[in-house]
Each structure stands twice: as structure tokens, then as C-alpha cells.
Amino acid sequence: MGYCLNPHCSHPQNPPNVKQCQTCGSSLVLGDRYLTVKKLGKGGFGATFLAVDISLPGNPCCVIKQLRPSSSEASLLQMARELFEREARTLGKIGNHPQVPRLLDYFEVDEQFYLIQEFVQGANLQQEIKQEGPFDEDKVRYFLQEILPILDYIHNSRVIHRDIKPANIIRRQLDNRLVLIDFGAVKNEINTLAAADNSSRTALTAFAIGTLGFAPPEQLAMRPVYASDIYAVGVTAIYLLTGKSPKDLGVDSATGELQWQEHVNISSTLTRVLEKMLELSVRQRYKSGREVLESLHISDHSQDLSPGLITQPLSPVDFSPHDDISDSGMLNSGVNKSSPVNRRVSAQAEAIRDLQDRRRQRSLENNLESEQTKAKDELDAQTTLKKHKPANNTSKKLVKLPAQLTSEIILEAYSQGWVDFCQRSLKQLNLKKVDLSGSRFHQSQLVEVNFQGANLSKTDFGRANLYKAILRDANIVEAYLGYANLEEADLRGADLSFAYMNYANLKGANLCGANLTNARISDVQMAQAKTNWKTVFPSGRRNLL
């Protein structure tokens, strides 16, 4: 089915295989290339459409963003054109991140402005909450861990998103990763330009606010900063925890602060972090995503995305809107072939080398510091082992976990409320039949660990190395095993129902008799593992063939 882009068309929907609107006669093929299929959304700036690229084999899908100036007045039209070009430059600059849609093309047709972007297949977080219900604390931590590095990336590119909300975050169906969409540089740059022309202020500034409830006070006052996006992510996290939009939550009449604490059941650590993300004062709010992750004791895994970046996130390099930058993802129909692209690429390469040199230097410094504190940590470990169980059988509160952990220290720490054992070396420990449910072993080395019969429900093993680990008859219900290495692990009889196992390495893993009901795992992964007639597959059925 074709869809007419003419905003004045009374019946824009058309039957299949039609390239000209049967109501108004407008062409349904934009730029002799993009055939519109349906409308995706409408806003103050214009509308968004799903289209297919009929010039390429397979007719891949793409998204058309149409900017519709509200007036044909020359000054307003010129302002819209400048904003449009700025948005195209911004999207071309930040679209090199694997979790940001790429800009494919942009052009003007009959005083209408069009941006062509990569189409992201999947449901947004608003749809996900309505279908599956609110997130628990662990899922919100995963959300923050994934979305905040994207935020730091765009902020390092001198871009403020200004409209972060659940509807603008899509869980990509291809790899289950979150993708941040709707980078409206039209909204980003409007404030500066509109201030120069009071006659145009009414027509344009309404687009700069963002979404009420998710935008902080300084953004509503037309003075957004990078921390404004931090506030919006905080409100989004509250929505994910409660399933309630900001307008459905109370507001303190004295301070204007959002009242959400009574609607959630989360740890004091996450509560404090969200409260600081939602500070009305910019001075008191977090300034970057990295600060948030450090407060949550979560490592920034944005480095893991480096191989997927088309261009590394460097300080922005200025370029003309007519430069030929097709190599970085923008296909401009009116490019200047004589543009100094080579100089820009060389500058970026040099910046990459400098960045790598700085990282190597930091690594050397960290190694030196590690060597200097190694002896002290070993002494702390011995002291802790001697003192955490005094003679009168009353345990002394652990203030700090030593660098080297034993099974005894882990169990004592867990009994005192410790759940964070991320990025630790815990090889060959004996944790048979223990209860460590809800713990976090993200990126830990768990080679040949014995978890036989253990309760590991809702535990985070993301990116952990569980090579040859013994998990026989373990309770691993609703555990997170994304990207974990389970090669040759013994999972016989384990309960993995509702476990998240996407991209886990299951080569040679023994799943005989395991229960995988509703587990997130692919057929390819299952084919790598050993199964038998007792294995319960994700469908809930056994393979009796």
C-alpha cells in the first residue's frame, strides 16, 4: 500500500503497486527512489513515514522524516532550511554509533524537507511495558548500563537529544539492543535562531521543549544542557519501574519534585541514584552517564561497542553541508566531489591514534597502581578471613571486599547483603548448593566453578566466563546469561526457564534434562549444545525425535 506525502491530501492511503496518488495526483515515490508505505507518526515539525528503497535489491525499509514549515514566508522558510541542514549534519555526525539510526539521505523538494534514515525493526520501551508490565530493579540497571554510554557518546559529539522517553528507545529485534531514535536537531538549534527573530518565535519555539514530564525545568525554560538528558533518562527509568507516566505520579507542591518512591520497591543505592538524576537543580544533578554508572558500581561497557563503530566517538570535525561524506553513512544527492574528505579522515585517524596512546598510558598507570596495592589487598583478605567470624560467633560487618575472594568470603558477604561480585576472578571455587539468588557476576571469571544444585535465580552472569562450570541441577530461573561463555559447561537438569541467553556461547554445553521453558535462546545456540529427550525446549516441549 502506498501513502501520499502531500499534507493536504484528503485520502493519502492508496492501493498496492500504485506510484501516483489516486486522490491528489502526487507522486508516491520520493526522489525517484523512496516509495512511502505508511505513516509512522506526526508531530509539530511534520511527520514520519515508513518507506522502501526501490532502487536497491530487496527494497530495504527506511524512515522518511518530513519537515513541514508552517508558513511560506521567506524568512521562516530560510530559517527552516538552515535548521534542516543543521539536523542533517548532526545526524551524519552521530549516526556512526551502532545504537543510533544512520542518516541515509537528505534533500528538499517543493519547499518540503526530507531526511531518510535507517529503519529499526522492533518495539519501543513504551510498547514493551504495556505488553509485559514494569521492569524489576535488575532490568532497570541493565537499561541504564546500555543507554547511558550512548548518551555520553552523543554528548561528546556536542549534541543534546532533548526528547528522551520510552517511545524514543527501541529494542532492536535483530540483536535485542536498545537504539536511541528521534534526534531532532530541528529542536536542538531552534532556540538560538528563533531568538534573532521575535516574529518567528511563536511558530518555532514550541518544538524545542521536548515532552512534558520528561523534560527538566531548564529545558522548559529554553536553556537545556547535557544534564537535561540525564534527567529524562531518570524519568524514563521511573516509568520502566512503575509503568506510570510522569503525569500519573504526584508532584511535591513545595519543591516541584516528582513523587515516585512510594510506587517502587528498589534498593537504597538505586533510589539515591535516581533521586540525583532527577534533581531539579542542574548543579546537584549528575553531569554525565559515566557518573551515574560509577554511582551504581557498574562499569561503562561502551568500549565493547568500539568494533561496531563506523567512526570512533571523537571531538567533532567541522565539515561543509555539501561535503561528500558517503563513507560515514550520509548519501547526499548534491555532494561536492572536490571536498577535502581526505584531510578530515586523516585528522580523525590521528585523533584515534592519540586516543589509543592515552588509553595505553592509563592502562600502564592502572597496572602500576594495581601492583602497589596488591600486597595490601592480600593482607586485607587475610585479616577479613580471621575477623569476619569472631570467637563469640557474631559476624563482623564487612566494610570492604578483598581483592581475592574465597567461597567462604562470598557466602559471608552475601549473608550481609552484598550481591555485587562483578569483574572478579573466581575460578574453580566450590559453591555447591549455595543460595546466591539475585547476585551479580557480570564479566567475572567463573571457569570450572562448581554451582551444582545452587540457587542462582535472577542472577546476572552477563559476559561472564563459565567455561566448564558445573551448573548441574542448579536453579537458574530468570537469570541473565547474555554473551556469557558456557562452552562445555555442565547444565544437566538445570532449571533455565525464562533465562535470558541471547548470544551466549553454548558450544559443547550439556543441556541434557535441562528445563529451558520460555528461555531467550536461538535454535542455532541449541544446535551447538548437547540435548536429549529429557531436555525441555523453550517452547515447553521435549524433543522426542
As given in the structure block, the three cell numbers for residue 76 are: 521562516
Q: Which of 332, 359, 328 is nearest to 341 (CA)?
A: 328
Strands (E), 316-412: none
Distances in Å between the alpha carbon of 84 and those of 64, 107, 132, 525? 13, 9, 38, 45
Angle 380-384-386 from CA coordinates, rounded to 5°? 120
- Residues 543 and 444: their CA atoms lie apart, in Å, by 33
Counting every residue written for the chain, the total comes to 545
Mind giving me the DSSP string for 160-195? -----SGGGEEEETTT--EEE----HHHHHHHHHHH
* SS3 state at 38: strand
Pairing of strands 103-109, 61-67: unpaired
Listed residue (30, 11, 10, 9) closest to 19, CA to CA? 30
Task: Please say whether the beta carbons of 155 and 226 come within 8 A.
Answer: yes
Residue corresponding to grid cell 548437547 = 530
Q: Is 229 a catalytic residue?
A: no
The residues pairing with 116 across neighbouring beta strands, listed in sequence order, are 64, 105
Rounded Cα distance between 203 and 206, Å, is 7
Contact 291, 265 (CB under 8 A): no
Cβ(385)–Cβ(398) under 8 Å?
no
**Catalytic-labelled residue, pool 163, 324, 473, 495:** 163
Q: Which three cell numbers stand for residue 225?
A: 544542557
Q: Which three cell numbers stand for residue 348?
A: 580523525
Q: What share of the chain is helix, strand, coil (3-state, %, to 5)?
A: 35, 15, 50
By annotation, the residues acting in catalysis are: 163
